[in-house]
Chain A
């Protein structure tokens, strides 16, 4: 305890020194960054967990793409379980002032079995929870429909052929915690009215659900009885396995934000290492004196360690408080995704922040502490006695291992963590090599420079290690900023520009075969171009070759998902112009049964040209070989099919048709008229989806930018730490130069030359990295060739050169302003 008290007293005084502040600031930023994301993720997780059985609307749900087998209902009755059936499907609805695509949910008596809906009445003033669901002839509509249909409680809306009275407005549904991907707003109606809508037709995308609730034992028995009887297209979901795609996507987003927050941790570790090293250097003589006064090596080590731990505690507590505040900002920005208030976060993120702070301190202050411990006592008599430096490879190796473990822990996945560690290491390596080459080149060029500039550039070379560190830290920080600001807007603008102005912006689906001539005539009458109509048959892939398809056989999430659900298949005699055969060849006229598969899905299922596929369509099976693989343009907003059959294979099966068309601004009336004429049609507005995607991407990138702000702050701390590392040396050199007659201007120029060179090198590394990454993103992810934009390197060089020169001069003004003798005394 005495050591602790003494250490705290020493720290109180040392706190005024730059290195203690740098260390605390670095830890503060690292912990704030990690806890911001941590607290936010915790709130989302809590919301998802809390809503899990409400999300289901019952304790257990049987979900099917066809009517739920009566045997399951019978079994639920035997177990005395409460039960209710629902049907959900997309459809157009129209009201007094407009039409909109909606997600219809027709529910039986007793819905919901778990959770309650929140609804607002006619006045729309406030909302409250309500039991049950609409009675026959009534509809409850989601908030967005009030504006889109100009319908309020008391008005009537049309769902298919049925006319329903709007009774209430749904403000929250138990089974949609997130309206993230729910592109169409909800219409809740009674199951009794479903038939009157006449919407349940061939090819309709209806999902049947049987919700059950009751005693836990009864639920378990029901689950055990039903699961073995499930056939294709049927599945059971309980609270335990209710892992929706939304949940998976959100978890992935959290993981990404978590990794982004680690960039600040990594930069902070550099600052901690630098600050701890300088701390140890400045304490060297004091430690020797204490040894002289009888302190043991353990005393010296403990005094230093307590000071670091106290600084860590300050940084962690302040960082956690800041993180708690900052997560509120994050939640505010991402609030559009959530239809419910997020619960308060738990304490775990704070614990995690503390662990990260501790790991940073333990991993990166140990080498300086060991150095201090081994200080020769003789230094009290002779200050030139050298201090043994611990092997930096072993010492900082420990730090690297600590950091790598943190990355793996934060990513929550060994593979992802290993990739991130590898990625960071490679990025650091490349930045280091590039930085080193630049420093060498610049210092070589110094021969041609005038007086003070030459000295400045010579210093750059002499302090290669410190200079390199500054270049890397700043380069990574500037690169993150360039990518998030200039490059991102640039890429999005390019991608949007790559979509032709007359590209289809509406899909019409669910067109029945007997409506085809009328639909064509409708388009013609309105002066729209003749629509391309594509047949669509829903079938399930049941075999590849002789191998049965079972979801459990796939590890790939997409393959698992696709193997569970029905595909939309089509048939065609000719290859469409926006498709391209990449393997095999398109069928000849009059050929037998053949399949053409999209190359991506073929890869997912590991299907090659020559393999045979067996599909189940409406209970009957047929088999044909895959004779070609197609590459499909995914971003032209036309109908796309994973599997296309040669003519003569699918025609006998029930099919619906779809088309896509372009509608200019102000022609929304076309949609209303189309739906009024053909109520079973669903029209999907792609511009709305595009806007939603853009909104989501804007919000997500703002969140990422926000997290990267911590990285920038950490980068600045590294810059400051790196500058102060060499500050004593600079002050001494400055004093010597002053004594030899150097003017203030010459001293400033010497410093300026060095910092300008470091900043420009960092800017160059950042710009090259940003352009490189942008090229990969553009060509691999967006499929748009990258066009080099001069603004990026210019902005990088300006940000680096000017920013670093300014910060550097500010940080070393002591070297210029101190009177020579005072400066020499202070250092020696």
Chain B
């Protein structure tokens, strides 16, 4: 609970996902950090749901707390208060490794800075989550996934040998390789020019539709936000439906 004690209920405004079960549920989610002068509340008591199959944009100005909220939803960070359920599992009732296993099973990620491991080739980067999940046919699956994003010819290339758009496509292949139910994307076009960004976004939405994945993406790109089924707006930590 934050200082205001207010809770923010999100209205359900997304017909395609209506009737679907919740894939993400947040309740009273709060993140405070201590500074030398005072405690700063970055996310204030956010309560909302995301239904399976929905696409949701988290929008807000720079520094409004978008990425912090995404981090909390994905269990990358621990909240000061509140709870998050992913596919019915209480995220913060699990320990650090439990959350990692849950992510490996259910969640995919796409980042602004791609976050490919420089030591691994495109193929190996896509194989990584499959191998971590202990899947046997990692190589074949990774190859198929890279073909879907149009990089069948670049399997042996290292990240630094690829353009920004290509790197983000590898990241998309990696994100979808494990067949996640939920995909978190953090400013996926932030490091790309508008033409490349648009191609990547088209690809992202195509893959999302084909896989029936739930998409939660953080963006300050208005055009991108409008392509989503609905939006969650965050302003100075206050979360509201858009």
- Name A's B-contacting residues (CB within 8 A): 2, 6, 9-10, 13-14, 285-286, 289-299, 376-378, 380-382
CA gap between A2 and B129 in the complex, in Å: 12
Cross-interface CB contact of A293 among B71, B103, B134, B158, cutoff 8 Å: B103
Known A-B contacts A297-B97, A381-B67; the reply to A10 vs B186 at CB < 8 A is no
Q: Which of B74, B104, B158 has the most CB of A within 10 A?
A: B104
Q: A296-B100, A378-B77 known; A286 and B117 CB under 8 Å? A: yes
The verdict on A381 contacting B186 (CB below 8 Å), with A6-B128, A10-B117 known, is yes
| Contact present for A381 and B111 (CB under 8 Å) | yes
The residue in chain B whose Cβ has the minimal distance to the Cβ of A380 is B115
Residue contact A292 to B109, C-beta cutoff 8 Å: yes
Contact A290 B67, beta carbon cutoff 8 Å: no
Complex partner residue of B132 from A286, A295, A376, A380, CB under 8 angstroms: A295
| Contact across chains for B131 and A296 when beta carbons are under 8 A apart | no
Q: Does B162 contact A (CB under 8 A)?
A: no
Q: How far is the CA of A298 from the CA of B100 in the complex (A)?
A: 11
B120 touches A9 (CB 8 A): yes
Select the residue from B109, B119, B158, B174 with max chain A CB neighbours within 10 A: B119
Q: For the complex, count residues of B whose C-beta is within 8 A of A.
A: 34
Tell me if B70 is interfacial: C-beta within 8 Å of chain A.
Answer: yes
In the complex, the answer to whether B131 meets A13 with C-beta atoms within 8 Å is no
The answer to whether B97 and A293 have CB atoms under 8 Å apart is no
Contacts A298-B97, A378-B71, A380-B109 given; indicate if A293 touches B132 (C-beta within 8 A): yes
**Chain B residues within 8 Å of A2, by CB:** 131, 134
In chain A, what residue has the closest Cβ to B97? A296
- A603 vs B109: C-alpha distance when bound (angstroms): 80
B105 an interface residue at 8 Å Cβ cutoff?
A: yes
Flag whether B40 is at the interface (Cβ < 8 A).
no
Chain A residues with Cβ under 8 A from B61's Cβ?
A: none
B119 touches A293 (CB 8 A): no
Residues of B within 8 A of A (CB): 67, 70-71, 74-77, 96-97, 100-105, 107, 109, 111, 115, 117-120, 124, 128-129, 131-134, 158, 174, 178, 186
Cα A382 to Cα B111 with chains together (Å)? 11
Partner of B158, one of A13, A380, A381: A13
Instruction: Tell whether, in the assembled complex, residue A10 and residue B119 are in contact, meaning their CB atoms are under 8 Å apart.
Output: yes
A10 to B96, CA, bound (A): 24
Across chains A and B, which 5 residue pairs bring their CB atoms closest together, nearest first? A294-B104, A13-B119, A296-B97, A293-B129, A377-B76
Contact of B124 among A9, A289, A290, A295 (CB under 8 A): A9
Q: How far, in whole Å, are A9 and B107 apart by their CA atoms in the complex? A: 25
Decide: B77 and A294 in contact? CB cutoff 8 A: no
Which of A292, A293, A378, A380 has the largest count of B CB atoms less than 10 A from its CB?
Answer: A293
Which chain A residues lie closer than 8 Å to B124 at the CB level? 9
| 18 pairs of residues in contact across A and B, judged by CB atoms under 8 Å | A13-B119, A13-B158, A286-B119, A289-B115, A290-B117, A292-B74, A292-B115, A293-B103, A293-B128, A293-B174, A294-B103, A296-B100, A298-B97, A377-B75, A377-B77, A380-B115, A381-B67, A382-B71
- Provide the bound-state CA to CA distance between A291 and B128, in Å: 11
B104 touches A295 (CB 8 A): yes
- Give Cα distance in the complex from A2 to B139, angstroms: 13
Q: B117 to chain A: which residues have CB within 8 Å?
A: 10, 286, 289-290
A380 to B186, CA, bound (A): 10
Alpha-carbon distance between A701 and B231 when the two chains are bound, in angstroms: 79
Closest to A9 in B: B124
Judge whether A297 and B101 touch: CB under 8 Å: no
Contact B111 A380 (CB under 8 A): yes
Cα distance A684–B5 in the bound complex, in angstroms = 105
- Tell me whether A13 and B120 are in contact (CB under 8 A): yes
- Complex contact B70–A381 (CB within 8 A): yes
A380 and B133 CA atoms in complex are apart in Å by 19
Q: Which chain A residues lie closer than 8 Å to B70 at the CB level?
A: 381
Q: Is the CB of A290 within 8 A of B128?
A: yes
A residues within 8 A CB of B75?
Answer: 377
B-chain residues with CB within 8 Å of residue A296 when the two chains form the complex: 97, 100-101
Cα–Cα, bound, A6→B135 (Å): 13
B33 → chain A closest CB, angstroms: 11
Whether the Cβ atoms of B101 and A14 lie closer than 8 Å is no
CA distance A291 to B132 in the complex (A): 10
In the complex, given contacts A286-B117, A297-B96, what are 13 additional A-B residue pairs having Cβ atoms less than 8 angstroms apart?
Answer: A2-B131, A10-B120, A13-B118, A13-B119, A286-B118, A290-B117, A292-B74, A292-B109, A293-B128, A294-B104, A297-B100, A377-B75, A380-B76
Distance (Å) between the CB of B71 and the closest chain A CB?
5
Give chain A nearest CB distance to B100 CB in angstroms: 5
CB neighbours (8 Å) of B76 from chain A are 292, 376-378, 380-381
CA distance A101 to B101 in the complex (A): 85
Interface centre among A290, A294, A380 (most CB of B within 10 A): A294
Known: A286-B117, A378-B77, A381-B71. A294 touches B109 (CB 8 A): no
Provide the residues of chain A in CB contact with B134, threshold 8 Å.
Answer: 2
**B-side contacts of A6, CB under 8 Å:** 128, 131
**What CA separation (Å) do A170 and B77 show in the bound complex?**
84
- In the complex, A372 Cα to B182 Cα: how many Å? 27
In the assembled complex, how far is the CB of residue B7 from the closest CB belonging to chain A, in whole angstroms?
Answer: 25
- Expressed in whole angstroms, the Cα–Cα distance for A793 and B14 within the complex equals 82
What is the minimal beta-carbon distance from B76 to any residue of chain A, in angstroms? 4
* A contact residues around B131 at 8 Å (CB): 2, 6
Known: A10-B119, A13-B120, A380-B76. Is A294-B132 also a contact (CB below 8 A)? Answer: yes
Q: A294-B105, A296-B101, A378-B71 are in contact. Are A14 and B77 (CB under 8 A)?
A: no
B-chain residues with CB within 8 Å of residue A285 when the two chains form the complex: 115
Question: Which residues in A have their C-beta under 8 angstroms from that of B104?
Answer: 293-295
Chain A residue numbers with a CB within 8 Å of B71 are 378, 381-382
A826 to B104, CA, bound (A): 29
- A292 to B110, alpha carbons, bound, how many Å? 11
A294 with B115, Cβ < 8 A, contacts A13-B158, A381-B71 known? no
Residues of B within 8 A of A297 (CB): 96-97, 100
Q: Which residues from chain B contact A294 at a C-beta distance below 8 Å?
A: 100-105, 107, 129, 132-133, 178
A296–B178 Cα distance when bound, in Å, is 16
Shortest CB-to-CB span from A822 to chain B, Å, is: 11
CA distance A554 to B109 in the complex (A): 77
Task: Write out the residue numbers on chain A whose beta carbons fall within 8 Å of the beta carbon of B120.
Answer: 9-10, 13
Which residues of A are found within 8 Å of B100, using beta-carbon distances?
291, 294-297, 377
Q: What are the residues of chain A within 8 A of B101 when measuring CB–CB? A: 294, 296
Identify the closest chain A residue to B158 (Cβ): A13
Within the assembled complex, what's the spacing in Å between the Cα atoms of A376 and B77?
A: 8
Nearest B residue to A292 via CB reads B109
Q: What's the Cα separation between A744 and B174 when bound, in Å?
A: 42
Residues in A whose Cβ lies below 8 Å from that of B132: 290, 293-295, 299
Cα–Cα, bound, A291→B124 (Å): 16
A294→B206 CA distance, assembly (Å): 25
- Closest chain B residue to A828, Cβ basis: B113
Q: Do A292 and B103 have beta carbons less than 8 Å apart?
A: yes
Query: A2–B102 Cα gap in the complex (Å)?
Result: 20
A297–B100 Cα distance when bound, in Å, is 9
